[in-house]
Amino acid sequence: MHLAAHFPGVNSTTVWSDPRSGSQIDFTSFEHLARTAERGKFDFFFLAEGLRLREYDGRVHDLDVVGRPESLTVLNALAAVTDRLGLAATVNATFNEPYELARRFATLDHLSGGRAAWNVVTSSDAFTGENFRRGGFLDRADRYTRAAEFVSTARELWDSWAPDGVPRPFAHHGRHFDVCGEFTVPRSPQGHPVVIQAGDSDEGREFAAGAADVVFTRHGTLEAGRAFWADVKGRLAKYGRDSDDLKIMPGVTVVVADTDAEAQQDAAEIRRLQVSPQNAILALEQVWGRDLSSYDPDGPFPSVDPEPESGFVQGRVRVADPFAVAAKWRALSEEKGLSIRETVIETTTRQSFVGSPQTVAAGLTAFVDGKAADGFILVPHLTPGGLDAFVDRVVPLLQERGAFRSEYTGSTLREHLGLAEPVWKG
């Protein structure tokens, strides 16, 4: 089983209102979480990315954590305070250039002794583009063709130094990139930093099958996980790859307590904190596409219908079929007698592992044994102590069962993940 830690941040999972919630930006928070993950012998530490603060009705979203530091810089600093832990940065392929990113990732790989990973994401919306030279220049349809060419160009750059330490000039003339010259960083300890993909569309899965070492997914139920696992792994053969060449790691939350009952109680309380009264109304507005601030979150659903075409939501995506969602939510609230807030809690609850350490360890193991996952990316709801209980109480059980390593056996992230060093293609 492979385990990774996600730094909690800009999402509704993170409970900032808890008194134990520390800084989202001070380096000490990152250091604590990374050291905890390393103490638990995790494969890697993961940072997400956003390139525009989320907005709602033209104003910056203010109800969840806002703001974060830049990933590669944080990970280079973390390389100084950790020894074995892999260091994964999410960096967009749409608003960057291959030469610069290949150089920055090769640098991280050198400076960390072979622990770098790159989660390739692809947002292409004009909203994000407003912070960049080229604006929203890419059609949604093109984002994965650019990402695929971006990754293959980066690989050509990483391969332009032969293992004997001699650089060869490179030239790449493609549809999205036309670059040539000499790469200035020698081949890094991992040959190529590990490549992660997060995205669920058919194009995303195909890109992952052809180019990624790890897939970060949201499929958190056993059935959905199995279907996803089988689908993505089934695509590998046509790229000449084996099932073990690509690790599937869903993002999951964990609530652990002395007993299953206590953990269930804690989980319910966490859900209430995640869906504040204000967040409940906001969730509704994202469906309805209009201002619903006058409604009582502890009261019944609005009788008005959603706006079919609404420019009300920006930077936080409006649901695809608002009428269907509104109908479903209304029906649920009527059937169970739930308030607005209770309904939102009920319908947006993500699959998570909740229970005693034994229950959680058994649940995780069942996923891996059942071919629904190769491992997990844990998304704690608290910074910086959100991983402590898992590492102190669940990891030892996984180790006892022989499901997870007791010591690091290698020094690079590829070694932790059981991935071969990429063959040099000079």
Partner 1 sequence: MTTGRPLHLAAEIGGPPRYEPDHYLGLARLAEGGALDYVTLGDSFARPGPDALSVLARIAPATDRIGLVPTVDTTHTEPFHVSSAVATLDWVSRGRAGWSADVSSTEAVARLFGRRPAPPAEALWREAGEAADAGARLWDSWEDDAEIRDTATGRFIDRDKVHHIDFEGEAFSVRGPAIVPRPPQGRPVTVIDGTTAPARAVAARHADVVHVRATTPEQAAAARADVHRLAAAHGRSARELRVLVALAVDLGDAETAPEPGLESGPPLAGHGTYFRGGPVDLAELISQWYRAGAADGFHLTPITPARDLERIVNGTVALLQHRSLFRTFHPGHTLREHLGLARPASRYALARTAGERR
* Per CB under 8 A, 96 contacts partner 1: yes
Q: Which is nearer to ligand FMN, 146 or 187 (CB)?
A: 146
Query: Exactly one of 5, 121, 208, 283 binds ligand FMN (CB under 6 A); which one?
Result: 121
SS3 180: strand
Judged by CB under 6 A, the chain residues 358 through 397 that form the site for ligand FMN are none
- What's the closest the beta carbon of residue 225 comes to partner 1, in angstroms? 32
DSSP state of 176: S
Query: Exactly one of 7, 42, 45, 95 binds partner 1 (CB under 8 A); which one?
Result: 95
Residue 64 contact among ligand FMN, partner 1, none, beta carbon within 5 to 8 Å by kind: partner 1
Piece of 55-63, 204-212, 215-223, 308-316 that binds partner 1 (CB under 8 A):
55-63
Environment class of residue 12 by beta-carbon count within 10 Å: exposed (0-12), middle (13-18) or buried (19+)? middle
Tokens of 96: 């960057």
**With the CA atoms of 40, 42, 44 and 46 taken in that order, what torsion angle do they form, in degrees rounded to the nearest 10?**
-60
Q: Say if residues 263 and 352 touch (Cβ distance below 8 Å).
A: no
Dihedral pair phi/psi, residue 230, rounded to 5° = -65, -40
How many angstroms separate the CA atoms of 116 and 5, rounded? 14
Give the per-residue contact string, 64-103, with ligand FMN (x = CB under 6 A; - = no).
--------------------------x-x-----------
Phi and psi based region of residue 176 (left: phi greater than 0; alpha: psi -120 to 50; beta: remaining): alpha
Residue 201 contact among partner 1, ligand FMN, none, beta carbon within 5 to 8 Å by kind: ligand FMN
SS3 250: strand
Query: Exactly one of 3, 15, 34, 48 binds ligand FMN (CB under 6 A); which one?
Result: 48
Piece of 62-70, 210-218, 313-321, 364-372 that binds partner 1 (CB under 8 A):
62-70
| Geometric angle at alpha carbon 45, from 41 and 49, rounded to 5° | 170
Chain centre distance of CA 91: 11
Q: Say if residues 14 and 383 touch (Cβ distance below 8 Å).
A: yes
Query: Exactly one of 18, 31, 49, 307 binds ligand FMN (CB under 6 A); which one?
Result: 49
How many angstroms separate the CA atoms of 337 and 333, rounded? 5
Residue 333 contact among ligand FMN, partner 1, none, beta carbon within 5 to 8 Å by kind: none
CA distances from residue 29 to 22, 111, 339, 384 in whole angstroms, order as listed:
7, 21, 36, 5
- What's the closest the beta carbon of residue 288 comes to ligand FMN, in angstroms? 23
CA distances from residue 243 to 224, 235, 246, 262, 364 in whole angstroms, order as listed:
18, 9, 6, 38, 20
Residue 122 contact among partner 1, ligand FMN, none, beta carbon within 5 to 8 Å by kind: ligand FMN
Residue 380 contact among ligand FMN, partner 1, none, beta carbon within 5 to 8 Å by kind: none
Residues that bind partner 1 in the complex, under the rule CB under 8 A: 16-17, 25-27, 31, 50-53, 59-70, 72-74, 76-77, 79-81, 95-97, 99-100, 103-104, 106-108, 110-111, 130-133, 177-182, 184-186, 276-279
Residues that bind ligand FMN in the complex, under the rule CB under 6 A: 48-50, 90, 92, 121-123, 198-201, 204, 216-218, 251
